[in-house]
Amino acid sequence: MSQTIVALLVALVASALPHHAAPTSIRGRVTAQDSGQPIARAIVKLRFLGPGVPKWEATTDDEGRYAFANLPAGGFALHAEQPAGTTTYVSRRYGQSVRFDPLRHDPIVSPIRLSEGAELIAPIELPRALSINGRVVSAGGEPIRNIRVSLRDGNGNVAMLRDAITDVDGRFTVAGVRPGDYRLCAVPYANFALIRTEGRFEGEQPFESCNADKPTTVSTTGLSDVEITVRSGLVYSVSGAVVDASGAPLESNTFQFKRQDGHDLAAIDTKRSGNQFVVRGVPPGEYLLTARRIAADGRTIELGSASVRVNTADIEGVVLRTAMPVSIVGRIEFDEGVPGPLPKVNVNTIGQRSRPPGPFENVSHMRGDLTFQLDGLLGPQMLQVFGAMKPWTVKAIRYRGEDIYGKSLEFRANTNPDDLVVVLTNRSASVTAKLREGSGHASSGATVALIPLDPRTGAPLENAAFRPIDFEGPFGLPIVRPGDYLIAAVAPEDAYGPSSSVVLRLAGVAQRITLAPGEHRVIELDLVRPK
Tens of pLDDT, residues 119-157: 999 999 888 888 889 999 988 889 988 888 888 776 666
Q: Give the span between the Cα atoms of 106 and 98, in whole angstroms.
A: 16
Among 183-192, 297-306, 427-436, name the one with the lowest average pLDDT. 183-192
Three-state SS letters, 246-309: CCCECCCCEEEEEECCCCECCCCEEEEECCEEEEEEECCEEEEEEEEEECCCCCEEEEEEEEEE
pLDDT band at 356 (very low <50, low <70, confident <90, very high): very low
Query: Mean of the per-residue pLDDT values for the chain?
Result: 79
Q: Where in the chain is the domain with CATH 2.60.40.10?
A: 130-233, 326-425
The pLDDT of residue 475 is: 39
Number of continuous H segments (helices) and E segments (strands) in the chain: 2, 42
Say whether 506 sits in a helix, a strand or coil: helix
CATH fold of 237-321, please? Immunoglobulin-like (2.60.40)
- Residue 182: is its pLDDT beyond 70? yes
**Which among 261, 259, 282, 260 is positioned nearest to 270, based on CA atoms?**
282
Please report, as a single letter, which amino acid is at residue 516. Answer: A
Whether 394 and 422 have beta carbons less than 8 Å apart is answered as yes
Of residues 263 and 199, more confidence is placed in: 263
The pLDDT of residue 496 is: 59
CATH number assigned to the domain with residue range 24-126, chosen from the 4 options 3.40.50.450, 3.20.20.120, 3.40.50.720, 2.60.40.1120: 2.60.40.1120
**Which among 336, 333, 335, 284 is positioned nearest to 310, based on CA atoms?**
284
Residue 105's Cα: distance from chain center in Å? 12
pLDDT band at 443 (very low <50, low <70, confident <90, very high): very low
β pairing state of 24-32 and 205-206: unpaired
Please report, as a single letter, which amino acid is at residue 127. Answer: P
What distance separates the 2 farthest-apart alpha carbons in the chain? 114
pLDDT band at 16 (very low <50, low <70, confident <90, very high): very low
pLDDT band at 318 (very low <50, low <70, confident <90, very high): very high
**Which among 290, 255, 283 is positioned nearest to 267, based on CA atoms?**
283
Whether 344 and 387 have beta carbons less than 8 Å apart is answered as yes
Whether 294 and 253 have beta carbons less than 8 Å apart is answered as yes
Tens of pLDDT, residues 214-270: 677 777 678 888 899 887 778 888 999 999 888 899 887 888 888 766 666 655 678
Measured distance between the N- and C-terminal CA atoms of the chain, rounded to whole angstroms? 77
Of residues 378 and 444, more confidence is placed in: 378
Q: Give the span between the Cα atoms of 224 and 173, in whole angstroms.
A: 9
Say whether 436 sits in a helix, a strand or coil: coil
DSSP state of 16: H
Let me know if domain 130-233 sits in CATH 1.10.510.10: no
DSSP state of 323: B
pLDDT band at 459 (very low <50, low <70, confident <90, very high): confident
Q: Give the span between the Cα atoms of 518 and 531, in whole angstroms.
A: 33
Tens of pLDDT, residues 386-415: 887 888 899 999 999 999 998 888 898 999
**Which among 334, 284, 330, 286 is positioned nearest to 311, based on CA atoms?**
284
DSSP state of 492: G
Neighbours of 74 (CB within 10 A): 18
Architecture of domain 430-525: Sandwich (2.60)
- Residue range 321-342: average pLDDT? 89
Architecture of domain 326-425: Sandwich (2.60)
- Residue range 377-393: average pLDDT? 84
Degrees, nearest 5: CA angle 166-167-173 = 55
Task: Quote the pTM value.
Answer: 0.58
Residues found in the chain: 531
341: cis peptide before it, omega within 30°?
yes
Q: In DSSP terms, which residues pair with 511 in a beta bridge?
A: 487
